[in-house]
Amino acid sequence: MSAPLSDFIKEEQRKGVKGVEIHLRLLLRLGESALLRIRVFS
């Protein structure tokens, strides 16, 4: 996926809010796992 994130989000908005919602949930989950990793290693 070489397309910029903003282009991806615009594409999702064209599909509908549902796609953006799923994408935001994915980002949240990634953020949570990153925070957990930081906590474990610190």
Q: Which residues contact 1 (CB under 8 A, 6 or more apart)?
A: 8
In angstroms, the CA 10 to CA 17 distance is: 11
- pLDDT score for 38: 84
> If pLDDT is split at 50, 70 and 90, which confidence band does 29 have?
very high
How many angstroms separate the CA atoms of 41 and 27, rounded? 21
pLDDT bracket for residue 28 (50, 70, 90): very high
Whether the pTM exceeds 0.85: the reply is no
Mean model confidence pLDDT for the chain: 80
